[in-house]
Structure 1
Amino acid sequence: MVISEVISENNAQFGLFFLAPTEILPERSQLHDLLHGLYKAFPLLDSQVVWGDTGLELHIFTTPKVYEPDYSDITVYSDPTAFIRHQLQHEHSVFQRGMLRIICARCGNNMRWGIWLHHLIADADFVQLLLSRVNAWLETGLWPEPDLHFIQQFWVLNHAMTSQHSYLSQYWRSQKNIFRALSSQQQREIQPESSPLTFTLPNSSRFFTHIALALAHALDTLGFSGPYLAVTPVTLRPKMGQNISSGCYINLIPVLLDANLDVNTFDAQRLSWLEHALLPQEGIAEQCGVDYKQALVMINLIDIPLDTFGFQHHPEFRSRKPITLTLIRNQVEYWQGNLVTLWGKTFGQALLVAFMEALTL
């Protein structure tokens, strides 16, 4: 599945970063022990992706390697927020050793550290398990037995994809005509990422549908010619009676933003694509001809935020596409929204105004 990193122009989009709590400041020797303890508890983390005889392979190391936490570039940041943002923009790659990194920096007068995970393993459930194990180790210095069930989960997922591959491939080939209608990504000058524009929205039925169509109308208002390709990462584990939300970047599914679609048509199309999204994104791209590099929008819908046990995690800090819309449910009745663009502050503000107006239509 990491072939998606090969076809992407930006390796930096493939990781999550969790900053350790302020009160926990291990020495370097402790961080060395932490890294090796994590490799022992979760053997799959001690791996890298390589080109084998038959293509991409996951190479799991069978003998201990000398691998220190990254102290080679102890950067001074003004505050922890700047540290987090930099790690989300830094090009970590699975073609270098490790699905997990431990990274240190100086924030003001304090040394801070955090854990970076590749999206391939950044499943919401596993993140919570890993961080709870880290906190337990910080308190006791003890590690549990290796978690072989973690490896088993990947085998089950791979088996399911293999068994359904022909059916899924045929389905996505049938969608090719839809994606032929897509406009190429709008040619605009890329600017430094804008500061997040924040807003609050009330919860409603078909929430994702309404915000997606409102964004399509807003783009039309600003003179874009749709339909537009958006992508959203999903867990593929629906919560009964709730939205299917972003929480795992193993897969991205396409979303077609078309102001001419009505609510029912959009829902039918999106849910059908979601149902068939067990095929990895490079498989979808190959069969239906969609080019993920041309996606104009990334939509992050975080219905149930991760409980990171004191670690700081900010999924809204980095724009992965020219327009990134992040919605986090912070109460039963409300969603906290963040809009970030790579097309400048003026464009971002105009888009937000048009988006909020479209929601009232």
Structure 2
Amino acid sequence: MFVPITNTPRGYAWGSTTAIAELLGRQPTGQPEAELWLGAHPGSPAEVVGKERSLLDVVDGRLPFLMKVLAAASPLSLQAHPTPAQAAEGFARENAAGVPLDAPERNYKDAFHKPEIIYALSDPFRALSGFRPVAETRAVLAPVADDPRIAPLLDRLTDDGALRDVFSWLIGRGEGVVDLVDAVVEASAIADGPSWQTVRTLADHYPGDPGIAISLLLHTVELRPGEVLYLPAGNIHAYLEGLGIELMAASDNVLRGGLTPKHVDVPELLRVLDFRPLPAPYLHPHEPEPGVHVFRPNVPDFALTVIEPDAAARGVEVRLEGPAIALCTDGDVALEGGPRLARGGAVYVEGETWLGVRGSGTVFVASAGESGERAPHDGSARQSG
């Protein structure tokens, strides 16, 4: 079964006014377009082309993944996502407490986890992702260590085991944090490097927010087109700028940690966060044949297959473990047994074991990822500091 689908981009304030339209060959609306959702999540289900119904009416059961085209013109909030056990417990707890699903203080909108990957389309795609070793943060701060306002941070950053306490002090706006934020913003005007660029960016958009100082504890990552980050449960992250394809488990559970006017539940965030300092989590692809890249993280909910134009030109077959969504971002391709997809076209596929693709375009295929070879993620950051 092949069902052509479409949707209207969500207009969050941080979205780009041009990037999604330019990628998919649409006319810009002049308004921010942040995320184009392609899936059956009730928050913004895809619409069936030519029919007055949504993909929710078509999918047999629950579609385990959600594919998005994401375009960030300004930074998103610092955030993390729960494990399956944390999501189930938190959802049940808030239900028992009678917290309405649409309440601004609600943390758990469903009982599912929300791991995700981001595939960079822009050059670069900038993000914060995960805690880095304390020694790296101390090295970044070394040129400005003589500022007494920065001393309280350096005094607390004794070793990697201090990250939880330092984060709690910062997000709780403890004694000295306001002055510290002012100091690192002033230092960023003369200091160089990716971390200081991040400080400048965040200060422009969220003046005075402790997330500005928290960013110094994290990897600043610059993805090049075709590179992917995997953001598992507990990973603190924020997209700073860029255009990409985002694929995640179909959930809306977000614990925010700053850089936002929305609700920040500090105790719950501390329960979810993974404070281990780890390398930035690059996810490397499996390449079953030239021009076909399969990104498969260690979760069963999803996998992303990218078919490049050279591969499409000779014709390829992609094995499907379950339902899938295919999106064409340039050129024109034919799907065996299904429709042609021009630039910007998308289709929901169900009941097929293989997806044949032939033509002259680039195609992203999101699918369930229950089996198959897992792609390694070695965490080697291209650039952080």
Q: Specify the TM-score bucket, using the shorter chain as the normaliser.
A: under 0.3
Larger relative strand fraction: 2
Q: What is the TM-score normalised by the length of structure 2? A: 0.24
Q: What is the TM-score normalised by the length of structure 1? A: 0.25
Larger relative helix fraction: 1
